[in-house]
C-alpha cells in the first residue's frame, strides 16, 4: 500500500465521524413535526427540543480540544463513536420529550467533539499537497450523511406511527462501524511529537511520508517550542479571527436552517407533505455532488477564492428565495433557487470551513483553536435553529425576513474573505503559522 492510499484510508475512517455528524444533523428534519404533534409542544419548546442537539455541540466543541491535546486524538474519537451510538438508541426509544432532549443533547456533544477532533487529526497526518482534499473528506462525509438521512427519512415516512423512531434508530449502524474502524487508525504523529514520543511518531510518518522524516520532526518540534501555548495570546489574533469569521458566516449562510427544516420550508411554500419530503433528497444529492467537486478543486483553486465565488453565488440565490416568500409565488421556483444555493455552498463554504479552521492554528494550540472554531460554528447554528421555527411561524413573512438576512450575510462574507482571509493552499501547517505570525508582528 503506497503512502497516499494509506493517508486516504485513515482519513476516510476518521471522516466517518463526519458522516454521523451529517446524518444526525439532517435526520431531525423528518422527525421534528412528529415529535411536536406527539408530545404537544409549543413553538418555543419545540424550538428548544430541536436545538438541544446544537446546545450539545457547543459543549462538545468547547471541551473536546483540551483532552485531545492531553490524551490524544484517537481516544477521543472512540468516545465520540460511543456517544453517537447511545444517542441513536436513546432518542429512538425515548418515551417522553425530556429523555428525547437528553439523548439529542448527548448526540450533539458527539457532533461538536467530532467537528473538533476529526478535521484536526486528518490535517495532521496529511502532507500539504493533499491536505485540503484529505481534510475535505470530512465535509464530504458530512454531506453524504445528510443525503442518507434525507433518503432514509423519505423511505421510512410511511412506516407507521413510529416512523420517526425508525428514522433515528438507523444512525446506530454507522456509529458501530465507526467505532470498529478506529481500531485500524494510529495516533496523530504531531500529537506524539508534542507528547515526547518521537520514535513512535517517526514510525507512523514513515508509512505516510516519502521525504526526510527527521527534518519534518525537527520542524514540528521547533514550531512547538517557538509558540505561546495560550490560545488567546496576541500572536494568534488573526488565526482566532479567521476561525471565528469562517465559522460564523458558515451558519449565517442559512445552511442548518435549510437542512433542519427542509420539509417545513417546502410546506410553507404550499407543497404537499410527500413532495416536501422528496425535495430535500434533491437538495442532498446536489450537496453531495458539489461537495465532491469542492474537494477535487480546493487544493488547486484555493480556499479564499472558493469562499469569494461561493459567497456571490449564494447571495444571488438567497435573495430570490426571500422574494418568493414575500410574494407567495409558486413553489417550483423555490426548489430551483435552493438547489442553486446548495450548489454554491457545497463547493465553497461547506468545503472550506473545516479545512481553514484546522490550518490556521499551530500544533501547540490546535486543539483549543479547533475547539474555538467549532464552538463558534455550533453556537450560531443553535441560534439559527432555535429561532427559525419561531420566526417563520410567528410572523406572516417570517421566512422571507430570514432569507433576506442570510443573503446580506453572504455579501458581507464575500468582502471579508476578499480583504482579510489569507490563501493557505500548498503550504505546510508550520508555514501557515509562520506567515500569520509574521503578519501580526509586522
Report which of residues 300 and 233 the model is more confident about: 300
Residue 77 grid coordinates: 474519537
* Residue 377 contacts residue 252 (beta carbons within 8 Å): no
Q: For 4, phi and psi rounded to 5 degrees?
A: -65, -40
Indicate the range of 55-69, 134-148, 203-217, 267-281 predicted with least confidence.
Answer: 267-281
Answer yes or no: is pLDDT of 441 > 60.
no
Q: What is the pLDDT of residue 274?
A: 58
How many alpha carbons lie under 13 Å from residue 138 in its C-beta half-sphere? 28
Answer yes or no: is pLDDT of 439 > 60.
no
Q: What percent of the chain has pLDDT over 70?
A: 90
Distance CA 165, CA 171 (A): 11
Distance CA 394, CA 42 (A): 12
DSSP state of 95: S
Answer yes or no: is pLDDT of 279 > 80.
no
For residue 140, give Cα distances in angstroms to 20, 104, 160, 305. Answer: 12, 23, 32, 19
Q: What is the pLDDT of residue 416?
A: 94
Answer yes or no: is pLDDT of 1 > 70.
no
DSSP state of 282: H
Report which of residues 437 and 349 the model is more confident about: 349
How far, rounded to the nearest angstrom, does the alpha carbon of residue 134 sit from its chain's CA centroid?
A: 15
Kindly report the pTM of this predicted structure. 0.72
CATH architecture of the domain with range 3-185+227-441: Up-down Bundle (1.20)
Distance CA 368, CA 63 (A): 9
Distance CA 220, CA 215 (A): 9
Distance CA 359, CA 73 (A): 16
Q: What is the pLDDT of residue 440?
A: 45
Q: Label residue 302 by pLDDT band (50, 70, 90).
A: confident
Report which of residues 351 and 366 the model is more confident about: 351
* Residue 19 contacts residue 145 (beta carbons within 8 Å): yes
Which H or E run includes 413?
A: helix 398-420
Indicate the range of 122-126, 319-323, 349-353 predicted with least confidence.
Answer: 122-126
What is the SS3 string spanning 338-403?
A: HHHHHHHHHHCHHHHHHHHHHHCCCHHHHHHHHHHHHHHHHHHHHHHHHHHHHHHHHCCCHHHHHH
Question: Average model confidence (pLDDT) for the chain?
Answer: 84
Q: What is the pLDDT of residue 222?
A: 74
Measured at the alpha carbon of residue 92, what is the angle toward residues 87 and 94, in degrees to the nearest 5? 90
- Could you read off the pLDDT of 217-271 as tens digits, one per residue? 887 787 766 555 677 777 788 888 999 999 999 999 988 787 766 666 666 656 6
Which positions ≥6 away from 240 have C-beta within 8 Å? Answer: 231, 232, 369, 372
What are the strands, taking DSSP E only, across 188-341? none
- Whose CA is closest to 10, among 99, 129, 127, 104? 127
Residues 156-176, mean pLDDT to the nearest whole number: 90
- Whose CA is closest to 29, among 144, 189, 192, 148? 148
Which H or E run includes 310?
A: helix 303-327
Amino acid at each position: 500500500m503506497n503512502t497516499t492510499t494509506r493517508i486516504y484510508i485513515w482519513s476516510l475512517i476518521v471522516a466517518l465521524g463526519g458522516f454521523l455528524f451529517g446524518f444526525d444533523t439532517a435526520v431531525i428534519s423528518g422527525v421534528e413535526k412528529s415529535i411536536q404533534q406527539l408530545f404537544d409542544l409549543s413553538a418555543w419548546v419545540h424550538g428548544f427540543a430541536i436545538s438541544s442537539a446544537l446546545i450539545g455541540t457547543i459543549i462538545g466543541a468547547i471541551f473536546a480540544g483540551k483532552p485531545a491535546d492531553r490524551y490524544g486524538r484517537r481516544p477521543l474519537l472512540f468516545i465520540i463513536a460511543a456517544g453517537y451510538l447511545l444517542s441513536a438508541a436513546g432518542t429512538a426509544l425515548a418515551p417522553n420529550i425530556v429523555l428525547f432532549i437528553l439523548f439529542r443533547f448527548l448526540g450533539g456533544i458527539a457532533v461538536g467533539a467530532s467537528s473538533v477532533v476529526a478535521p484536526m487529526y486528518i490535517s495532521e497526518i496529511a502532507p500539504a499537497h493533499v491536505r485540503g482534499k484529505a481534510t475535505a473528506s470530512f465535509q464530504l462525509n458530512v454531506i453524504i450523511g445528510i443525503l442518507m438521512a434525507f433518503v432514509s427519512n423519505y423511505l421510512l415516512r410511511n412506516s407507521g406511527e413510529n416512523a420517526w423512531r425508525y428514522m433515528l434508530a438507523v444512525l446506530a449502524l454507522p456509529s458501530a462501524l465507526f467505532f470498529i474502524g478506529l481500531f485500524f487508525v494510529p495516533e496523530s504523529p504531531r500529537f506524539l511529537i508534542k507528547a515526547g514520543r518521537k520514535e513512535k511518531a517517526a514510525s507512523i510518518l514513515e508509512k505516510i511520508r516519502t521525504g526526510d522524516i527527521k527534518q519534518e520532526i525537527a520542524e514540528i518540534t521547533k514550531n512547538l517550542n517557538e509558540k505561546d501555548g495560550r490560545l488567546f495570546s496576541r500572536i494568534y489574533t488573526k488565526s482566532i479571527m479567521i476561525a471565528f469569521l469562517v465559522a460564523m458566516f458558515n451558519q449565517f449562510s442559512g445552511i442548518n436552517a435549510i437542512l433542519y427544516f427542509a420539509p417545513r420550508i417546502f410546506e410553507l411554500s404550499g407543497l404537499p407533505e410527500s413532495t416536501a419530503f422528496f425535495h430535500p433528497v434533491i437538495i442532498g444529492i446536489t450537496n453531495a455532488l458539489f461537495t465532491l467537486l469542492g474537494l477535487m478543486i480546493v487544493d488547486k483553486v484555493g480556499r479564499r477564492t472558493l469562499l469569494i465565488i461561493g459567497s456571490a453565488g449564494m447571495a444571488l440565490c438567497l435573495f430570490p428565495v426571500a422574494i418568493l416568500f414575500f410574494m407567495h409565488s409558486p413553489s417550483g421556483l423555490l426548489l430551483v433557487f435552493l438547489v442553486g444555493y446548495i450548489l454554491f455552498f457545497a463547493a465553497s463554504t461547506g468545503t472550506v470551513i473545516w479545512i481553514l479552521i484546522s490550518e490556521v492554528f499551530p500544533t501547540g494550540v490546535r486543539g483549543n483553536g479547533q475547539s474555538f472554531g467549532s464552538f463558534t460554528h455550533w453556537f450560531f447554528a443553535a441560534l439559527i435553529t432555535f429561532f427559525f421555527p419561531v420566526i417563520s411561524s410567528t410572523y406572516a413573512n417570517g421566512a422571507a425576513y430570514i432569507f433576506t438576512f442570510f443573503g446580506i450575510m453572504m455579501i458581507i462574507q464575500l468582502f471579508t474573505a476578499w480583504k482579510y482571509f489569507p490563501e493557505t493552499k500548498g503550504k505546510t501547517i508550520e508555514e501557515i503559522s509562520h506567515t500569520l505570525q509574521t503578519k501580526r508582528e509586522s
